């Protein structure tokens, strides 16, 4: 583990000092302002209990969120498609990671991620970086666990006005558990098929009326239905909360997380696929590892310190400040398959490894206040974000005996055991990069009448990127000044029904998602742009049951492609369009019957040729035209209940050349719940109840993951 170096702290000290000074000076600043700067300030509209983080949601429905607007806003009043996965849903479905979680989220699916990272697809656009923890950027490539999570918020469409660059098709924000008062402790132990063993603990201690401590922990040691694949995870996340007076709260947290697993790239496809007649993945290899599992380790270490401060003034002004200092150390190595040779019935195996370290320091300050101007009511947000991200990346190629970079394995035995040496090839990356951010944003949520609301916002970001290519000692620098607007209109014919329309925009600078993609040839090119147009409806049928619908169009422009007139040069084109419909139902139909249902129809395609094989009209990878899911839990008695889930995915292409396709599938899951006592529950989850043979996801035409067979998991939860 590489510690965060003193020079990084020294470079960022002015940012921290400025933020601290703002927090200290804010009370005096607020007192010096006119009592009524914009009409009549309102103090009574601060929704919810005092606290930086929300209390635990009851059941599957979360009525409000602070992430989408940075203010406590009801989801029905937010002009955007948002799915909140609550702690109760996570527990009932036995979810442990983001790949599991998004199965019941409309408009969102996942890619393989080369077996070493989260790779979620939002409205057709894949991302390895659009992940946040408590509203702050958490963008290194690794698998995130849910052991310390209170809820997970999935925001669809660009979100740059609130979250900054990226978030092109959407993003995921994990809201973590924090120390507090009246918090129930919990110990959960699980065991199941394929040597699955997992334990989590959540212990909260109230030191006094003003001080609380909490620790969440995880240990998992598991096998897999895939030969040679193992998982081991350890996490610990202590937090502390301090009430510094009636209106001031300080929260501190530190997480140490380790993930050790085998990078599994799945199986290849049958040879000979074309656009007109796509090939399918190889059948009969659900358990078989293509490559060398013993030489495909993935190691991730995360250390993150978080500080959150909130003060509410008597005149209605709220000040919030958050800081996240995180150190990431990631190494993965994989020995993986290529395209099958039909003539020899062999599959070429290649290898490489990659080491990445990153240090993030992100600081946000928000000011929220409420005001009336005549009959019009306002919720104002003004904020600033500063950050510095240092990234170091090194890739090496694997060479087999004899010096070759491939080993041809017979299809009858594609699991190999060959010695390897590691050295840089001519194209392997060795670079270091620094990204510096300074941003400011303004937003006004305007209640024009009791039925009509308007939200307007804009963010300005100044981003400086610098990348040193250590292979040739060339340093490349670029500066981006980005304006990201947001506009939304909400009409409420009834208090429990809203109709909305919205427009949002975001950018992806040429440094790319992982901040080291800047080169001398692309530095002068404009950033990629993403524009989202959305119409939707939200209906809270009852306080515990919500129905939503959204229709959207998401356009991706400034995509770099070779110039057809001069292939040595690059041009920018409007490269992709996603159009679709998302429907969802979440909550309680009756007191005993809970449901989570989703349907998505998505037309995501290439709109301009990007290569000789990725042509206009091709469909985007890992995206089904139709997908649906439903999870239903029914409690027959106060002590006994059962759950049933059905997941459907239509045909999906494995890559944007559309020459290989994963067939559609329907998977059924089940669960039984029994309360042994008022404080001890036992739970049985069954994945793939009918033992469907299917392919779950892909990274490319030759890296396709077979879905798992029927698997059982038993969990015991005690609350104390």
Q: Counting runs of H as helices and runs of E as strands, what totals does the chain give? A: 4, 41
Residue 450 pLDDT grade (very low, low, confident, very high; cuts 50, 70, 90): very high
What pLDDT digit, counting tens, does each position of 52-84 carry? 555 678 899 999 999 999 999 999 999 999 999
CA–CA dist 532, 336 (Å, integer)? 37
CA–CA dist 563, 12 (Å, integer)? 42
For residue 145, pLDDT beyond 50? yes
CATH number of the domain bearing residue 518: 2.40.170.20
For residue 294, pLDDT beyond 60? yes
* CB-based burial label for 343 (10 Å; 0-12, 13-18, 19+): exposed
Strand 170-176 to strand 131-133: parallel, antiparallel, or no bridges (unpaired)?
parallel
Residue 555 domain flag:
yes
For residue 447, pLDDT beyond 50? yes
Question: In b/e form, how buried is each residue of 513-543, taking b as 16+ CB within 10 angstroms?
Answer: bbbbbbbeebbebebbbbebebebbbbbeee
Residue 251 domain flag:
yes
CA–CA dist 559, 528 (Å, integer)? 6
What pLDDT digit, counting tens, does each position of 464-509 carry? 999 999 999 999 999 999 999 999 999 999 999 999 999 999 999 9
Beta strands in 207-247 (DSSP E): 211-222, 231-243
DSSP string, 54-120: PPPPPTT---EESTTTSS-EEGGGSSS-EEEEEHHHHHHHT--BHHHHGGGSTTEEE--GGGTS--E
Q: If you average pLDDT over residues 274-282, what whole number do you get?
A: 96
For residue 6, pLDDT beyond 70? no
Residue 657 domain flag:
yes
CA–CA dist 597, 84 (Å, integer)? 13
Residue 696 region, left (φ>0) first, then alpha (ψ -120 to 50), else beta? Answer: alpha
- How many domains is the chain built from? 1
Residue 1 domain flag:
no
- How much is the pLDDT for 52? 58
- How much is the pLDDT for 570? 85
Residue 432 token pair: 């270091």
Residue 408 domain flag:
yes
For residue 20, pLDDT beyond 80? no
Question: In b/e form, how buried is each residue of 389-426, taking b as 16+ CB within 10 angstroms?
Answer: bbbbbbbbbbbbeeeeeebebebeebbbeeebeeeeee
Sheet architecture: strand order including 131-133: 82-86, 149-156, 170-176, 131-133, 136-137
- How much is the pLDDT for 51? 55
- How much is the pLDDT for 568? 77
Task: Pick the closest to residue 51 from 201, 208, 183 (CA basis).
Answer: 183
pLDDT, mean over the chain: 92
Question: In b/e form, how buried is each residue of 271-294, taking b as 16+ CB within 10 angstroms?
Answer: eebeeeebbbbbeebbebbbbbbe
Q: If you average pLDDT over residues 669-692, what whole number do you get?
A: 97
| pTM of the predicted protein model | 0.92
What pLDDT digit, counting tens, does each position of 181-200 carry? 999 999 999 999 999 999 99
Residue 651 token pair: 């045909």
Q: If you average pLDDT over residues 600-625, what whole number do you get?
A: 96
Residue 39 domain flag:
yes
Residues with Cβ within 8 Å of residue 187, at least 6 apart in sequence: 199, 200, 201, 202, 717, 718, 720
Calculated CA dihedral for residues 408, 412, 416, 422, nearest 10 degrees:
20
How many C-beta atoms surround the C-beta of residue 553 within 10 A? 15
Q: If you average pLDDT over residues 680-700, what whole number do you get?
A: 97
CA–CA dist 231, 258 (Å, integer)? 11
- How much is the pLDDT for 566? 81
Mean pLDDT lowest among 42-51, 160-169, 430-439: 42-51
CA–CA dist 366, 678 (Å, integer)? 42
Range of the domain at 295: 6-719
Residue 31 pLDDT grade (very low, low, confident, very high; cuts 50, 70, 90): very low
Residues with Cβ within 8 Å of residue 123, at least 6 apart in sequence: 107, 108, 156, 157, 169, 170, 552, 554, 578, 580, 602, 604
Percent of the chain with pLDDT over 90: 89
């Amino acid at each position: 583990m590489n510690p965060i170096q003193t020079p990084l702290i020294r470079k960022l000290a002015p940012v921290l000092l400025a933020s601290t000074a703002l927090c200290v000076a804010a009370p005096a600043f607020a007192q010096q302002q006119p009592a009524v700067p914009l009409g009549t300030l309102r103090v009574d509209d601060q929704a919810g209990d005092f606290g930086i983080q929300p209390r635990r949601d009851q059941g599957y429905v979360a009525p409000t969120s602070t992430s989408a607007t940075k203010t406590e806003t009801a989801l029905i009043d937010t002009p955007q498609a948002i799915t909140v996965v609550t702690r109760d849903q996570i527990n009932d479905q036995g979810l442990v990671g983001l790949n599991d979680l998004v199965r019941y989220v409309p408009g969102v699916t996942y890619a393989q991620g080369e077996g070493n990272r989260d790779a979620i697809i939002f409205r057709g656009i894949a991302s390895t970086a659009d992940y946040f923890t408590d509203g702050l950027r958490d963008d290194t490539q690794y698998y995130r666990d849910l052991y310390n999570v209170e809820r997970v918020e999935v925001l669809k469409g660009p979100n740059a006005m609130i979250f900054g660059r990226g978030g092109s098709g959407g993003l995921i924000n994990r809201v973590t558990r924090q120390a507090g008062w009246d918090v129930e402790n919990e110990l959960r132990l699980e065991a199941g098929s394929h040597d699955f063993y997992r334990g989590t603990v959540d212990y909260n201690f109230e030191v006094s009326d003003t001080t609380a401590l909490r620790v969440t922990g995880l240990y998992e040691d598991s096998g897999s239905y895939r030969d040679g694949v193992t998982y081991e995870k350890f996490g610990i996340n202590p937090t502390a909360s301090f009430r510094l007076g009636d209106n001031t709260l300080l929260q501190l947290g530190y997480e140490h997380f380790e993930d050790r697993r085998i990078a599994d790239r799945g199986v290849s496809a049958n040879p000979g696929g074309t656009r007109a007649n796509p090939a399918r993945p190889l059948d009969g290899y659900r358990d078989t590892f293509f490559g060398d599992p013993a030489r495909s380790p993935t190691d991730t270490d995360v250390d993150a310190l978080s500080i959150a401060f909130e003060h509410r003034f008597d005149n209605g002004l709220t000040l919030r400040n958050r800081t996240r200092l995180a150190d990431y150390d990631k190494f993965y190595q994989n020995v993986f398959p290529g395209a099958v040779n039909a003539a020899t019935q062999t599959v070429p195996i290649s290898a490489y490894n990659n080491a990445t370290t990153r240090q993030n320091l992100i600081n946000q300050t928000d000011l929220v206040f409420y005001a009336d101007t005549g009959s019009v009511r306002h919720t104002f947000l003004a904020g600033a974000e500063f950050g510095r991200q240092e990234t170091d990346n090194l890739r090496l190629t694997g060479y087999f005996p004899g010096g070759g970079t491939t080993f041809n394995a017979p299809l009858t035995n594609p699991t190999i055991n060959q010695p390897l040496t590691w050295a840089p090839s001519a194209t392997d990356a060795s670079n270091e990069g620094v990204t510096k951010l300074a941003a400011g944003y303004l937003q006004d949520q305007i209640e024009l009448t009791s039925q009509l609301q308007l939200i307007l916002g804009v963010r300005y970001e100044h981003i400086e990127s610098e990348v040193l290519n250590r292979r040739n000692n060339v340093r490349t620098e670029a500066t981006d000044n980005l304006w990201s607007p947001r506009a939304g209109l909400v009409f409420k014919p009834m208090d429990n029904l809203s109709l909305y329309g919205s427009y949002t925009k975001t950018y992806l600078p040429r440094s790319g998602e992982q901040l080291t993609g800047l080169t001398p040839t692309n530095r002068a090119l404009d950033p990629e742009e993403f524009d989202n147009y959305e119409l939707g409806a939200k209906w809270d049928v009852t306080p515990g049951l919500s129905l939503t619908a959204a229709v959207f169009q998401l356009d991706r422009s400034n995509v770099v492609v070779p110039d057809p007139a001069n292939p040595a040069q690059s041009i920018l084109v409007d490269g992709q369009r996603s159009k679709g419909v998302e429907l969802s139902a979440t909550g309680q139909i009756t007191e005993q019957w809970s449901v989570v249902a989703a349907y998505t129809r998505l037309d995501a395609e290439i709109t301009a040729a990007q290569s000789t094989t990725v042509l206009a009209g091709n469909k985007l990878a890992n995206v089904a035209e139709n997908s649906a899911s439903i999870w239903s839990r029914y409690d027959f008695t106060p002590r006994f209940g059962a759950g049933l889930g059905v997941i459907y995915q239509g045909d999906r292409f494995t890559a944007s050349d559309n020459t290989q396709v994963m067939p559609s599938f329907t998977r059924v899951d089940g669960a039984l719940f029994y309360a042994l006592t008022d404080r001890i529950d036992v739970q049985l989850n069954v994945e793939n109840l009918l033992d469907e043979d299917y392919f779950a996801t892909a990274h490319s035409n030759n890296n396709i993951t077979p879905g798992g067979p029927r698997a059982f998991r038993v969990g015991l939860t005690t609350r104390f």
